[in-house]
């Protein structure tokens, strides 16, 4: 996967952030030429399809495809078609809103995403394990969300733009993009990270470990330098411990080689393929404690997957509750929230169990960003749990500050921070120069500052306590930090990877 693809996505992020600042400034001073709603459509499309979609496109290729598959002109052409569509939407949406040209470019992007999903699914069909399970679900959610795109033209032709069906269709697309495609793609990359490092027993049979260096483009980990926990010294997984010598060692009754560049894994393997779990008939490892730890981790992950997947469909009910505030709608959302809370509990156990190993093997800025992402994910789940109470649900979708704050919490807090963290850990994004770290710091300051102001002002509206002094000016000011941060971060990619 060429690094330039990720940098193109990062450039789209910069453009989307600049557009966001213009929208903020419109509340400070009048901008006569600005068609606010049209410009908002352009901002959201560039952010979602130009930044997040293309960044995930690049990272998923690097994580799951071989070098030969990544060199295919098919993926390059689909990426270029997607970027052309993004540029078209960037220009046409602010001018026309939902009109023939913007819809044409949206359609082009949708068709390109179909080609990507089809080819990517075909190329990973032989893969098994949790990462493959999550990424397949992500692709299905992406395809499912695009049903809203095909519903939009007839809605527009029938003049239903101001009707409930229009807003429900928009929410359908946003919900299954954010909570389906984006969330499950991020989790696929996370479990791929666990698998590639053999943390908590996750890992493919015959997987190669050793150098701790991820080759951009190969999706594989190299072996042989003896720098990793497995291959040079001691490895601790769950509660069971194993020692692997510089040449050869025994783990339980299965033999492994470390340092020489090879390690064989005996019958101890788990496969989740085609959404089914196949349980091995024998386990060979470091002992019963390790087997129990691995077994529990895999079961937790499998339960987490299914609970989260099912809850994603039920929680769409909140998005339509404003139009149909019926008891059955709130009950459906409540069921989804309960399932999501249960899923979060299982995921929290996994994260807690893997934190020590992740910290030992990873650390640094990349791991910090991933921790921020999952903290935002937990906050998102808690906030959605609060809307089980009908009164709070009504407040949540009627106070715009809460709506915008929640959308940014997911897009900027969960998805963006994970993408940046994962890219940094795998050498796709450099955070070694002071310029890069300055850019990241500005971005984080802008994100946290804007979220604080949005939710604080929303709370004041809820309590009928009026406006914060200089609220719009303050929101504009902290929002300026985000494009500044992304721009500096992007410039930092072209600086030497050294302090100074």
| Cα(133)–Cα(275) distance, integer angstroms | 6
Query: Is the residue at 439 inside a domain?
Result: no
Q: Is residue 287's pLDDT more than 70?
A: no
The region of weakest confidence among 55-64, 116-125, 233-242 is 233-242
| Cα(419)–Cα(47) distance, integer angstroms | 13
For residue 448, the model assigns a pLDDT of 97
Cβ proximity of 201 and 293 under 8 Å = yes
Q: Which of 497, 486, 487, 483 is nearest to 430 (CA)?
A: 497
Q: Is residue 250's pLDDT more than 50?
A: no
For residue 251, the model assigns a pLDDT of 36
Q: Is 350 exposed, middle or buried (0-12, 13-18, 19+ CB in 10 A)?
A: buried
Query: Is the residue at 422 inside a domain?
Result: yes
How large a percentage of the chain has pLDDT more than 70? Answer: 79
Cβ proximity of 132 and 64 under 8 Å = yes
| Cα(377)–Cα(93) distance, integer angstroms | 30
For residue 191, the model assigns a pLDDT of 92
Q: Is 31 exposed, middle or buried (0-12, 13-18, 19+ CB in 10 A)?
A: middle
Furthest C-alpha separation in the chain: 75
Q: Is residue 337's pLDDT more than 60?
A: yes
Question: 296 and 410: one domain?
Answer: yes
pLDDT digit string, tens, across residues 448-460: 999 999 999 999 9
For residues 303-310, give the mean pLDDT: 94
Sign of CA dihedral 263, 1, 428, 3: positive
Query: Is the residue at 121 inside a domain?
Result: yes
Question: 315 and 360: one domain?
Answer: yes
Provide the number of structural domains found in the chain.
3
Q: Is residue 247's pLDDT more than 90?
A: no
Tokens read off for 113: 């995403």
For residue 464, the model assigns a pLDDT of 85
pLDDT digit string, tens, across residues 195-210: 888 876 665 443 333 3
Q: What residues have CB less than 8 Å from 178, skipping those under 6 apart?
A: 407, 410, 411, 415
Q: Is residue 49's pLDDT more than 50?
A: yes
| Cα(493)–Cα(384) distance, integer angstroms | 37
- Check residues 351 and 378 and name the one with the higher pLDDT: 378
Question: 111 and 2: one domain?
Answer: yes
Q: Which of 110, 124, 248 is nearest to 188 (CA)?
A: 124
Confidence of residue 444 (pLDDT cuts 50, 70, 90): very high
Q: Is residue 441's pLDDT more than 80?
A: yes
Last residue of a domain, one of 429, 451, 475: 429
Last residue of a domain, one of 125, 140, 159: 125
Q: Which of 221, 209, 207, 193 is nearest to 266 (CA)?
A: 207
Question: 350 and 415: one domain?
Answer: yes
Query: Phi, psi (5° rounding) for residue 235?
Result: -130, 135
Q: Is residue 245's pLDDT more than 60?
A: no
Tokens read off for 365: 């800025």
Tokens read off for 197: 């490092």
Most trustworthy range by pLDDT among 166-170, 375-379, 388-392, 460-464: 375-379
For residue 203, the model assigns a pLDDT of 56
Query: Is the residue at 189 inside a domain?
Result: yes
Question: 306 and 211: one domain?
Answer: no
The region of weakest confidence among 97-111, 162-176, 284-298, 447-461 is 284-298
The region of weakest confidence among 21-35, 256-270, 479-493 is 256-270
Q: What residues have CB less than 8 Å from 427, skipping those under 6 apart?
A: 213, 214, 216
Q: Is residue 7's pLDDT more than 90?
A: yes
Q: Is residue 281's pLDDT more than 50?
A: no
Sign of CA dihedral 389, 391, 394, 400: negative
Question: 236 and 325: one domain?
Answer: no
Question: 68 and 187: one domain?
Answer: no
Question: 312 and 164: one domain?
Answer: yes
Question: 307 and 363: one domain?
Answer: yes
Strand partners, 249: 256
Q: Which of 181, 212, 182 is nearest to 197 (CA)?
A: 212
For residue 238, the model assigns a pLDDT of 37
Q: Which domain holds residue 372?
A: 131-205+283-429
| Cα(130)–Cα(187) distance, integer angstroms | 9
For residues 271-275, give the mean pLDDT: 37
Last residue of a domain, one of 414, 429, 444: 429
Residue 466 Cα to chain centre, angstroms: 35
Q: Is residue 424's pLDDT more than 60?
A: yes
Query: Is the residue at 498 inside a domain?
Result: no
Q: Is residue 75's pLDDT more than 80?
A: yes
For residue 156, the model assigns a pLDDT of 82
For residue 213, the model assigns a pLDDT of 38
Query: Phi, psi (5° rounding) for residue 256?
Result: -140, 155
Q: Is residue 252's pLDDT more than 70?
A: no
For residues 285-311, give the mean pLDDT: 70
Query: Is the residue at 453 inside a domain?
Result: no
Confidence of residue 1 (pLDDT cuts 50, 70, 90): low
Confidence of residue 497 (pLDDT cuts 50, 70, 90): low
Q: Convert 423-447 to b/e letters by CB count within 10 Å (16 or more is b).
A: bbbbebbbbbbebbbbbbebbbebb
For residue 437, the model assigns a pLDDT of 94
Confidence of residue 494 (pLDDT cuts 50, 70, 90): confident
By DSSP bridging, strand 234-237 and strand 240-243 are antiparallel
Query: Is the residue at 337 inside a domain?
Result: yes
| Cα(230)–Cα(248) distance, integer angstroms | 12
Q: What 3 state SS string does the chain have?
A: CCHHHHHHHHHHHHHHHHHHHHHHHCCCCCCCCCCHHHHHHHHHHHHHHHHHHHHHHHHHHHHHCCHHHHCCHHHHHHHHHHHHHHHHHHHHHHHHCCCHHHHHHHHHHHHHHHHHHHHHHHHHCCCCCHHHHHHHHHHHHHHHHCHHHHHHHHHHHCCCCCCHHHHHHHHHHHHHHHHHHHHHHHHHHHHHHHHHHCHHHCCCCCCCCCCCCECCCCCCECCCCCCCHHHHCEEEECCEEEECCCCEEEECCEEEECCCCCCCCCCCCCEEECCEEECCCCCCCCCHHHHHHHHHHHHHHHHHHHHHHHHHHHCHHHHHHCCCCCHHHHHHHHHHHHHHHHHHHHHHHHHHHHHHHHHHHCCHHHHHHHHHHHHHHHHHHHHHHHCCCHHHHHHHHHCHHHHHHHHHHHHHHHHHHHHHHHHHHCCCCCCCCHHHHHHHHHHHHHHHHHHHHHHHHHHHHHCCCCCCCCHHHHHHHHHHHHHHHHHHHHHHCCCCCCCC
Question: 199 and 235: one domain?
Answer: no
Q: Which of 281, 260, 287 is nearest to 269 (CA)?
A: 281
pLDDT digit string, tens, across residues 137-179: 999 999 999 999 888 888 888 888 778 888 889 889 999 999 9
Question: 165 and 308: one domain?
Answer: yes
Query: Is the residue at 442 inside a domain?
Result: no
- Average pLDDT of every residue of the chain: 81
Question: 244 and 364: one domain?
Answer: no
| Cα(264)–Cα(203) distance, integer angstroms | 12
């Amino acid at each position: 996967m060429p690094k330039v693809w990720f940098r193109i996505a990062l450039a789209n992020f910069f453009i989307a952030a600049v557009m966001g600042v213009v929208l903020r400034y419109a509340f400070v001073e009048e901008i006569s030429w600005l068609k606010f709603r049209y410009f908002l459509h352009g901002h959201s499309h560039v952010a979602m399809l130009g930044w997040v979609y293309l960044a995930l496109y690049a990272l998923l290729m690097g994580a799951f495809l071989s070098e030969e598959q990544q060199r295919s002109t098919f993926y390059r052409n689909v990426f270029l078609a997607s970027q052309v569509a993004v540029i078209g939407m960037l220009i046409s949406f602010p001018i026309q809103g939902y009109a023939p040209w913007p819809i044409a470019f949206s359609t082009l992007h949708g068709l390109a995403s179909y080609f990507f999903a089809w080819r990517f699914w075909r190329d990973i069909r032989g893969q098994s394990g949790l990462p493959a399970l999550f990424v397949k679900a992500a692709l299905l959610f992406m395809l499912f969300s695009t049903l809203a795109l095909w519903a939009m033209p007839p809605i527009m032709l029938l003049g239903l733009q101001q009707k409930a069906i229009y807003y429900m269709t928009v929410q359908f697309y946003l919900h299954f993009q954010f909570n389906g495609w984006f969330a499950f793609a991020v989790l696929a990359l996370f479990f791929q990270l666990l698998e590639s490092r053999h943390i908590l027993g996750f890992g493919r049979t015959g997987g190669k470990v050793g150098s701790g260096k991820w080759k951009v483009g190969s999706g594989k980990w190299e072996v042989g330098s003896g720098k990793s926990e497995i291959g040079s010294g001691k490895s601790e997984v769950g509660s069971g411990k194993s020692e692997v010598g510089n040449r050869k060692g025994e783990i339980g009754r299965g033999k492994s080689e470390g340092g020489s560049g090879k390690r064989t894994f005996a019958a101890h393997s788990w496969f989740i393929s085609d959404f089914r779990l196949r349980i091995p008939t024998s386990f060979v490892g470091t002992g019963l404690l390790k087997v129990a730890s691995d077994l529990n981790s895999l079961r937790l992950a499998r339960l987490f997957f299914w609970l989260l997947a099912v809850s994603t469909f039920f929680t769409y009910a909140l998005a339509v509750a404003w139009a149909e505030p019926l008891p059955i709608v709130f009950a459906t959302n409540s069921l989804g929230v309960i399932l999501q809370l249960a899923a979060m509990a299982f995921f929290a156990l996994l994260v807690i169990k893997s934190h020590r190993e992740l910290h030992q093997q990873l650390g640094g800025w990349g791991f910090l960003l991933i921790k921020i992402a999952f903290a935002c994910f937990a906050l998102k789940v808690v906030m959605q749990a609060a809307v089980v109470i009908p009164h709070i649900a009504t407040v949540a979708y009627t106070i715009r500050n809460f709506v915008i704050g929640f959308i940014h919490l997911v897009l900027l807090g969960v998805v963006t921070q994970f993408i940046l963290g994962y890219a940094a850990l795998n050498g796709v994004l450099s955070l070694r120069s002071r310029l890069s770290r300055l850019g990241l710091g500005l971005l984080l300051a802008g994100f946290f500052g804007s979220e604080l102001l949005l939710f604080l002002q929303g709370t004041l509206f809820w309590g009928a306590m009026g406006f914060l002094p200089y609220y719009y000016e303050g929101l504009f000011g902290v929002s300026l930090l985000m494009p500044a941060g992304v721009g500096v971060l992007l410039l930092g990619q072209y600086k030497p990877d050294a302090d100074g």
